[in-house]
Amino acid sequence: MIEQIKRLSRWEAGDSPYTKLAKLEQMLATYNWAAKEVVPLFAALVSLQLPAGRYPPLNLTPQEQKQRTLDALVAWTLEEAERRPLFELWDDLHWADPTTLELLGLLMDQTATASLLIVLTFRPAFIPPWPTRSHMTPITLSGLEPLDIEAIVTRLASGKALPTEVVRHIVEKTDGVPLYVEEITKAILGSGLLREETDRYDLTGPLSAVAIPATLQESLAARLDRLPKLREGAQLGAVLGREFDYEMLKAIAPMDEARLQDGLSQLVEAELLYQRGRPPRARYIFKHALIQDAAYQSLLKRTREQCHRQVADILETRFPETVETQPELLAHHHTEANSPQTAVEYWLKAGQQAVHRFADREAVGHLEKGLGVLLTLQDTPERARLELSLQTSLGPALMATKGYAAPTVGKAYRRARDLCQELKEITQLFPVLWGLWMYHLVRAEHEAANKMTKQILAVAQTTGDPDLALEADFAAGLSAFYCADLLSAREHLEQAISAYDPERHKGLASTYGGLDPGVCCSQYLAWTLWLLGYPDQALKRTDEAQSLVKRVGNLYTQTRSLYWDSLVRQFTGQWDVLRERIEVAISMATEHGFAIVLGVGPIMRGWALVAEGRAQDGIGQISQGLERYRATGAGFQLPHLMTSLIEAYKKIEQPEEGLTVLAEAQAIVEKTGERYYEAELQRLKGELLLVQSPDDPAEAETCFHNALEIARRQHAKSLELRTAISLARLWQRQGKEGNARQLLNDVVAWFTEGFDTADPRDAQALLNELGAMKEVGASTAA
């Protein structure tokens, strides 16, 4: 797409940045979809610096900028297809980078009714990352049939027939591979074994007299050997890549321009290269990747290294724009030139650039390559510092691609922590400890997470950095919440929110798990406030978070925040709002591959179905979601999420199944120490036992008393109210209206807000019933 933008803008080699911008603006002005912000988006894509003040700043996070750029590229393609039928060929998709595949996925979703034919070619092992749709037609290309092979042979022989023995040999040898058919046919035609007649070729000797290569690779290498005067140009081109520019090849070629152009023309004539444009602006493409491989492998190792070093030197001295925008290209050439120190530095730069663009899969690839090259360096403090930078950049990228709880995430951050201790590096220690904290938190390893939290707070205090203090309060607030220390959680979360500034702090997400701290802390504070007995304040906080996340523009945080908001709605019984929020979250997570939301989304959708009276449908959704959620490696929130399934089994009066799930949830609580929803588990156990044994309520009553004790100890007034309602109903059925009324009155009297939400409303309705019973009883006695 970058090359297409340059080509359609009619850029030329000598154009100044001003001229390039003018041409880009002129080209985009012809399109209806090209809003004013598209020029800066495309300028950033092609690394064109805009004059100050010419366009307003985009004010987008890297993730949002990437998404808007992809959307603009799709819109561009679709408008081209509206103007005239459009054909696009995407070849060798098995080598495509993740962002290209993401762009194609977006395009596939919108092309069903467009005048657009897209042909994608890839090897059998490649699995397209998008779902199959009715407007897509897969075609498996098997080997050529004998008649097809004969047709290729005849064409290469200029229409003249080859001896049957020769054709049979080609058919048997090539296994229907078109390139191999061409190569062997050309080898036999050039061997001197055939005599050309008017309408045919005749054998002049036994076919066995010709040394026919046993493999396609050998055949390609042999063909290059038969073209010694052309081989050098092909070899140098192969060093540059599958595609290369004439100007770059001329810069490294040890021959005059006339000889170089002549050699390239012959390579094109021999159908080893394809040419686009004319020198000096020509671009060449090897006909097949195997031809490039054959040319590359024919170079001596020392010569290859020299060529790569020369290419890297030329790029650094003559193409500073490429160095800045494509550090991975420099990294590749320095790696192959056996310049490991410089290679690692470029792999690091490439990885960091990709992280800041939210191209996380590319980032992982670059950084892991850098770590691989790093192993060849001597063990020195400088090497340790390089590795630390690689590992600290790798951690967030792995979180985004593999999930917070992936073992590779823990491995990267543990290694980074060891390096920080070895180098006595306190500046980089904080994000490393934060990454380890998040890793343990999501895995519900709360004891380890709490240890990390203490270290995080200590480092923030030592440095006196307010940004670190904000992230430290973020971590401390979440850890306290999961361990049911609700008062401490509220304190830390409110401190973080008071220190947060959207403009100043929106960039923190790229270092700290992709999460905007202001939005995240506001949502967790909403959960905390509801548990503490402040439903209206909780709803106010979650609404503020939803407004804030739109200002911040962090797509990942926005998707997660819709789920966080849906949990507040579950707390308050606003099932219609929950359903609306979670459907949007699922749609966004599906489009962008946010695995953890793809797990919790069906759970929340299923929970809403249970509340609507469709428990069987809900159980299917919840079970699917729990399976997906566990597959991410996540363990936190699991007991809470499992209550959705427990409630569903209670609704359909299957207490045994519900008690089985509940026992598993309680075991997780004991193993992990995640206790913020422990009181609710005890309450639900009592409810299930009443369904199972309505005439023997003793054990259920014990569960309710346990739940009350837990809720009071944790200051979880909302869960205390829920439990009080359950116990009051039990006492009501037992004729203990006075006890029931007293219990419920005492709890309800504490509340000062939230009377329009589910639990306070249910409590008041039950109190009204109990009051009416008292009046009826008194009247009867009189």
Pair type for strands 86-90 and 116-120: parallel
Which amino acid makes up residue 652?
I
Kindly report, residue by residue over 484-508, the tens digit of the pLDDT.
Answer: 999 999 999 999 999 999 989 988 8
Per-residue pLDDT at 756 exceeds 90: yes
* Distance from C-alpha of 628 to C-alpha of 597, rounded to nearest angstrom: 9
* Distance from C-alpha of 567 to C-alpha of 565, rounded to nearest angstrom: 5
* Distance from C-alpha of 519 to C-alpha of 521, rounded to nearest angstrom: 6
Angle between helices 62-83 and 98-109 (to 10 degrees): 50
Per-residue pLDDT at 447 exceeds 50: yes
- Please indicate whether residue 92 or residue 1 has the higher confidence score (pLDDT): 92
- Do the beta carbons of residue 348 and residue 367 sit within 8 Å? yes
Angle between helices 555-572 and 575-592 (to 10 degrees): 160
* Distance from C-alpha of 589 to C-alpha of 604, rounded to nearest angstrom: 14
Q: Identify the bridge partners of residue 203 per DSSP, sorted by sequence position.
A: 194
pLDDT, position 777: 35
- Two structure tokens written together for 748: 């309800």
Kindly report, residue by residue over 330-357, the tens digit of the pLDDT.
Answer: 999 999 999 999 999 999 999 998 887 7
3-state secondary structure of 278: coil
pLDDT, position 9: 75
Kindly report, residue by residue over 696-747, the tens digit of the pLDDT.
Answer: 999 999 999 999 999 999 999 999 999 999 999 999 999 999 999 999 999 9
Query: Which of 369, 397, 359, 399 lies closest to 100, judged by CA?
Result: 359
* Distance from C-alpha of 654 to C-alpha of 352, rounded to nearest angstrom: 53
pLDDT, position 778: 35
CB-CB neighbours of 293 under 10 Å? 16
CB-CB neighbours of 154 under 10 Å? 15
* Distance from C-alpha of 332 to C-alpha of 350, rounded to nearest angstrom: 11
**In sequence order, what are the residues at sequence separation of 6 or more whose Cβ sits closer than 8 angstroms to the Cβ of residue 330?**
312, 315, 316, 322, 323, 342, 346
- Please indicate whether residue 661 or residue 269 has the higher confidence score (pLDDT): 661
Residue 508: DSSP 8-state: G
pLDDT, position 56: 76
- Do the beta carbons of residue 661 and residue 626 sit within 8 Å? no
Q: Locate all alpha helices (DSSP H) within 443-534, ordered by sequence.
A: 446-463, 466-482, 486-499, 502-505, 517-532
- Two structure tokens written together for 7: 């080509």
Query: Which of 497, 423, 416 lies closest to 452, judged by CA?
Result: 416
Secondary structure element (H or E) that encloses residue 42, with its range: helix 38-45
pLDDT, position 775: 39
- Do the beta carbons of residue 22 and residue 33 sit within 8 Å? no
Average pLDDT for residues 240-258, to the nearest whole number?
88
**In sequence order, what are the residues at sequence separation of 6 or more whose Cβ sits closer than 8 angstroms to the Cβ of residue 216?**
177, 179, 180, 183, 290
- Do the beta carbons of residue 577 and residue 562 sit within 8 Å? no
pLDDT, position 401: 80
Tokens 């993730």 — which residue?
A: 63
Per-residue pLDDT at 1 exceeds 80: no
DSSP labels, 241-274: -SEEEHHHHHHH-SS-HHHHHHHHHHHHHTTSEE
- Do the beta carbons of residue 89 and residue 61 sit within 8 Å? no
Mean pLDDT, the chain, rounded, equals 89
Secondary structure element (H or E) that encloses residue 202, with its range: strand 201-203
Q: Can you give the length of the chain in residues?
A: 782
pLDDT, position 59: 64
- Two structure tokens written together for 271: 């159908």
Query: Which of 554, 617, 631 lies closest to 66, judged by CA?
Result: 554
* Distance from C-alpha of 194 to C-alpha of 158, rounded to nearest angstrom: 14
- Measured CA distances, 696 to 162, 232, 550, 650, 691 (Å): 95, 91, 53, 17, 10
**In sequence order, what are the residues at sequence separation of 6 or more whose Cβ sits closer than 8 angstroms to the Cβ of residue 332?**
none
Residue 693: DSSP 8-state: -
Residue 30: DSSP 8-state: T
- Please indicate whether residue 397 or residue 62 has the higher confidence score (pLDDT): 397
Average pLDDT for residues 160-171, to the nearest whole number?
87
Per-residue pLDDT at 675 exceeds 50: yes
Query: Which of 521, 507, 520, 510 lies closest to 559, judged by CA?
Result: 520
* Distance from C-alpha of 165 to C-alpha of 188, rounded to nearest angstrom: 12
- Measured CA distances, 575 to 571, 572, 606 (Å): 10, 8, 11
- Do the beta carbons of residue 602 and residue 561 sit within 8 Å? no
pLDDT, position 640: 98
Q: Is the peptide bond before 502 cis (omega within 30 degrees of 0)?
A: no
Per-residue pLDDT at 617 exceeds 90: yes
- Do the beta carbons of residue 336 and residue 327 sit within 8 Å? no
Query: Which of 415, 434, 95 lies closest to 286, judged by CA?
Result: 95
- Two structure tokens written together for 230: 């052309």
Kindly report, residue by residue over 524-533, the tens digit of the pLDDT.
Answer: 999 999 999 9
Query: Which of 541, 430, 429 lies closest to 475, judged by CA?
Result: 430
- Two structure tokens written together for 543: 């609404």
pLDDT, position 3: 65
Per-residue pLDDT at 693 exceeds 90: yes
Kindly report, residue by residue over 544-570, the tens digit of the pLDDT.
Answer: 999 999 888 788 899 999 999 999 999
Per-residue pLDDT at 33 exceeds 60: no
- Measured CA distances, 241 to 238, 255, 295 (Å): 5, 20, 11
* Distance from C-alpha of 293 to C-alpha of 217, rounded to nearest angstrom: 8
Average pLDDT for residues 43-68, to the nearest whole number?
74
